[in-house]
C-alpha cells in the first residue's frame, strides 16, 4: 500500500493506493501531530478514503503531521504530509503533478524485476564457483 499526503495549512489531502495502482477505497486514515498535543498516540483527526482512494482531513493546528492508513489484510502505510503553499479554489495543476510523480516513483518496472532476477543468478553463480573451487582442492 502506498500513500501520498500533503498539508496546506487548513487540511491534509492525499490519495492511498496499492502497488498495482488500484485505489484503496473506503479505508481508514488517521493523522497524528508531531511534538504537540496531550497524547501523541491519539490521532488529531481521522476519516476514510473515497471510492477513488482520495481523502481530505480538516485540521485546526499547524504541522508537521504523520498520516497513517490501515487497509484490509494488514496493509499499512505511513507518511509525513508534505507542507505546501495554500491553494486556490479547486485542485491546482501543481498538486496533480506531485501526485503523478509520486505514483511513478512507487511503480514496479520491468527493469527492476529483471535486475532482481539477474542478482539472484549472480549469487547462484558465485556459490557454484566457490563450490567448484572447494571440490578441486
Paired sense of beta strands 2-7 and 82-83, if any? parallel
Report which of residues 31 and 19 the model is more confident about.
Answer: 31
**For the chain, what is the mean pLDDT?**
82
> How many Å apart are CA 79 and CA 69, to the nearest integer?
9
CB atoms within 10 A of CB 101: 11
Whether the predicted pLDDT of 89 surpasses 50? no
> How many Å apart are CA 3 and CA 24, to the nearest integer?
9
CB atoms within 10 A of CB 137: 4
pLDDT at residue number 92: 63
3-class secondary structure, 3: strand
pTM above 0.75, yes or no: no
Report which of residues 111 and 40 the model is more confident about.
Answer: 111
Mean pLDDT of 90-112: 71
Query: Which residues have CB under 8 Å from 8's CB, separation 6+?
Result: 83, 84, 85, 86, 87
Q: 126: pLDDT confidence band, cut at 50, 70 and 90?
A: very high
pLDDT at residue number 5: 86
pLDDT at residue number 94: 63
Residue 16 and residue 23 in contact, taking contact as beta carbons nearer than 8 Å: yes
Amino acid at each position: 500500500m502506498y500513500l501520498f499526503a500533503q498539508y496546506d495549512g487548513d487540511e491534509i489531502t492525499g490519495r492511498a493506493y496499492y502497488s498495482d495502482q488500484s485505489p484503496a477505497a473506503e479505508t481508514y486514515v488517521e493523522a497524528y501531530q508531531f511534538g504537540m498535543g496531550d497524547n501523541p498516540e491519539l490521532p488529531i483527526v481521522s476519516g476514510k478514503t473515497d471510492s477513488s482512494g482520495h481523502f481530505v482531513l480538516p485540521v485546526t493546528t499547524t504541522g508537521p503531521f504523520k498520516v497513517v492508513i490501515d487497509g484490509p489484510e494488514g496493509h499499512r502505510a505511513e507518511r509525513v504530509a508534505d507542507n505546501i503553499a495554500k491553494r486556490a479554489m479547486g485542485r491546482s495543476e501543481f498538486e496533480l503533478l506531485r501526485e503523478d510523480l509520486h505514483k511513478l516513483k512507487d511503480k514496479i518496472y520491468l527493469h527492476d524485476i529483471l535486475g532482481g532476477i539477474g542478482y539472484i543468478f549472480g549469487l547462484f553463480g558465485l556459490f557454484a564457483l566457490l563450490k567448484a573451487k572447494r571440490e578441486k582442492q
